[in-house]
Amino acid sequence: MKHFLIFVGLLIITTTVLAQGTTLTSINYRKDMLLVDEPKITGFEGASAIVEFETLIDTPAAVAYYGVPHTEGNLTTPRYRKAVKGTHIGNKETKHRIAMDLSKLEDVHYDTGLIANNGGTIVYRIEVFDPRIQTARAYDRRLRYKRDGAPKTGTYTKLVTLTEGPFVDLVTHNSAVISWETDIPTKGTVLAGNREFLSLEPSIRHEVHLTRLKPNTVYTYQVNYDIYTPKYTFKTAPDIGTRIKFKFGFMSDSRAGVGGGERAQNGVNAKDLGRFAIELYNKKADFVCFGGDLINGYTSDVKDYTWQLETWKRTIQPVAANIPFYESMGNHEQVGAYYKVTAPHLKQDEFYIQFTGTVGEDSAEAIFAKEFVNPTDSRYELGIPSPEKKGSKDMAGADVGPTYRENVYSFIYGRVHFISLNTNYWGTGYRSISNFGQKSQDKTAINHALKHLGGNREGYVLPNQMEWLKNELDAAQKDISVDWVFIILHEPPFPNGGHVKDAMYWGTPGEGGTGGYNDKDVPLGDVLDMRNRFWKIVSSKSKVLAVLCGDEHNYSRTLIDSSVHPDFRFPVWQIISGGCGAPYYVQDKSVPWVDKVKAFTIDKHYCLFSIDGNQVGLEVYNDSSQLLDSIGNLTTIR
């Protein structure tokens, strides 16, 4: 194996020469990234706020839409009222400048308090046309300002601005966490009920723990970050072990869809994600579990990955200020090292791309933990799985993988126990493209990547996480305060659509009956054995009611029992809900368990579970609010 360096400008590209002349060349891979840096308010010219930013490539002048955050009830949504076209700076089509005249909002026809309050908060959306994909990309931001003097002629000054949140998370029977971010470091407080909770250290990011709360009680709160936010509400969980009615939502796969605009907003289908979040709130869901593929991801740029996650958070924020979201990781939550692969058997202009997840603070898992507020432990104080070690001495790459912090966890609500797993830990694989006719499920390319780059196969559950799951389920089965267990993950053990090619099967699409992958002579190739070990653990406990999955962009409800495999003791529902906006997959009826599929649709959708005593109901709605599937009591399989 030979290594040499190619210098391109200031970028150092490492090329590795493998056997038979195949080369891996380190590259920047960031399909969704267009902005170089965060748009910045550089100051005011009269009443106009000046926004400047830079793009990676030449683009036409950008457009800004601006208006006010409008509040009715508990949901705050942007209402854009004015628009302005920007200019280029110094005739460079990568450098952009926009002047938003705020005095145009300080008008009797549009004013919502900006005149009387001598300023306030405005919202704005920057739209930049990306010629690479022939569509506009949108970036939503906020600005808070003050005005000294009369509208139009006064002096305008930027104030500390809330850039994210607030969000409510980790709601238990006696506590909750409120988090938010500002553009500059500040102190902050949360006023909840008649009590004030402090965040004394100046910081950009705040997580304030509310303690000594009453169970099953509605609280009103406000965040003060220099000024009070509007009022929001949340309800604490019931006492542990209490049988009380509640609802929770489940959905997955909100990565960018097809259709442009808000269907593809910085890696997120903001149109469908935002709508479904609001519908779950209006249907009185107490919380929402999200099963991965929040974003497009698949990038070598940490900034790109982080911005996409932040776009996802901004989309759900109006709802997530009032009910908690519990996020799990999918295969698209991936940032790592990317390599252009060339080989003698390919034509001169042909190549494909391999990638591997990184470890440490820049890993996808560590950044995910930083961006979200999820449980940091097991419900039973079992901790989290230890980072995994590489599969064998023949595999290259790091010896130890990234953290499981805040992507593998558990919590309880009433008498229902929830477990979040990471079936896309430390992901390595084949991604794309050029004229090379390989499919994304090409096993040779995947095995090549695993051998030379290390990491983990998509959908493969490594030993430490598997052992942690067994211990967690052992504890839940013995817990007299638990009626049912839901396991939330991304990759389905028994795929029914577009991911027969990988997930926990790795079969051939349209030929699922020929079997999945089970080759112990290749890195992590015993996929079927691993899947069966996993489901044997899942089905060994009578309290495990359902495994909730994403990955496939459709809905299916499948009953897996001992007729699928004799080691599967108790029947367990596998419910795939991957319809939050990503491009759809049709059903693959060639899989051996096709007769176990009780419902299937390609409609965009979300799931609403209702817990009433010992009964668990399910309703599934599409984006036209039509009921697609309804089960009065999922527990009748017992």
Give the dihedral sign, CA 565/567/569/574: negative
Total domains, the chain: 3
**Ramachandran sector of residue 46 (left: φ over 0; alpha: ψ -120 to 50; beta: rest):** left
Q: Please indicate, yes or no, whether residues 358 and 413 belong to a single structural domain of this protein.
A: yes
* pLDDT band of 638, cuts 50, 70, 90: low
Q: Please indicate, yes or no, whether residues 114 and 177 belong to a single structural domain of this protein.
A: no
Q: Please indicate, yes or no, whether residues 213 and 303 belong to a single structural domain of this protein.
A: no
Residue 22 lies in a domain: no
Q: Please indicate, yes or no, whether residues 264 and 353 belong to a single structural domain of this protein.
A: yes
pLDDT digits (tens, 9 = 90+) for 558-578: 999 999 999 999 999 999 999
Reply yes or no on whether the pLDDT at 511 is more than 60: yes
Q: Which of 235, 255, 277 is the last residue of a domain?
A: 235
Q: Which of 113, 129, 159 is the last residue of a domain?
A: 159
Give the pLDDT mean for 278-296.
97
Q: Please indicate, yes or no, whether residues 155 and 172 belong to a single structural domain of this protein.
A: no
Cα–Cα dist 294/34, whole Å: 19
Rounded to a whole number of angstroms, the distance between the first and last alpha carbons of the chain is 57
Q: Please indicate, yes or no, whether residues 194 and 340 belong to a single structural domain of this protein.
A: no
pLDDT digits (tens, 9 = 90+) for 179-238: 999 999 999 999 998 899 998 789 999 999 999 999 999 999 999 999 999 999 999 999
pLDDT at 441: 64
pLDDT at 13: 46
Q: Please indicate, yes or no, whether residues 141 and 88 belong to a single structural domain of this protein.
A: yes
Q: Please indicate, yes or no, whether residues 147 and 219 belong to a single structural domain of this protein.
A: no
Question: Under a CB-based contact definition with an 8 Å cutoff, are residues 422 and 404 in contact?
Answer: yes
pLDDT at 16: 66
Domain that holds residue 225: 167-235
3-state secondary structure of 472: helix
Residue 17 lies in a domain: no
CA 427 and chain centroid, separation: 16
User: What tokens appear for 315 in the block?
Assistant: 């989309």
Residue 550 lies in a domain: yes
Cα–Cα dist 460/503, whole Å: 8
pLDDT digits (tens, 9 = 90+) for 38-96: 999 999 999 999 999 999 999 999 999 999 998 877 788 899 999 999 999 998 999 99
Q: Please indicate, yes or no, whether residues 152 and 301 belong to a single structural domain of this protein.
A: no
Question: Under a CB-based contact definition with an 8 Å cutoff, are residues 335 and 358 in contact?
Answer: yes
Q: Please indicate, yes or no, whether residues 508 and 589 belong to a single structural domain of this protein.
A: yes
Highest mean pLDDT among 71-75, 259-263, 465-469: 465-469
DSSP state of 350: -
Residue 10 lies in a domain: no
Q: pTM for the complete prediction?
A: 0.95
* C-alpha pair distances (Å), 232 with each of 71, 204, 334, 355: 11, 21, 33, 42
Residue 15 lies in a domain: no
Cα–Cα dist 224/197, whole Å: 10
Residue 16 lies in a domain: no
pLDDT at 225: 95
* pLDDT band of 437, cuts 50, 70, 90: very low
pLDDT digits (tens, 9 = 90+) for 513-570: 899 999 999 999 999 999 999 999 999 999 999 999 999 999 999 999 999 999 999 9
Residue 400 lies in a domain: yes
Across the chain, what does the average pLDDT equal? 93
Question: Under a CB-based contact definition with an 8 Å cutoff, are residues 479 and 486 in contact?
Answer: no
CATH classification at residue 522 = 3.60.21.10
Q: Please indicate, yes or no, whether residues 422 and 452 belong to a single structural domain of this protein.
A: yes
Q: Please indicate, yes or no, whether residues 205 and 267 belong to a single structural domain of this protein.
A: no
Where do the H-state alpha helices sit in 343-495?
364-371, 443-453, 463-478
Question: Under a CB-based contact definition with an 8 Å cutoff, are residues 39 and 138 in contact?
Answer: no
CB count in 10 Å sphere of residue 15: 16
Q: Which of 214, 235, 256 is the last residue of a domain?
A: 235
Residue 111 lies in a domain: yes
How is 195-259 classified by DSSP, letter by letter? EEEEEEEEEEEEEEEE-SPPTT-EEEEEEESSSBPPPEEEEPPPPTT----EEEEEE---B--SS
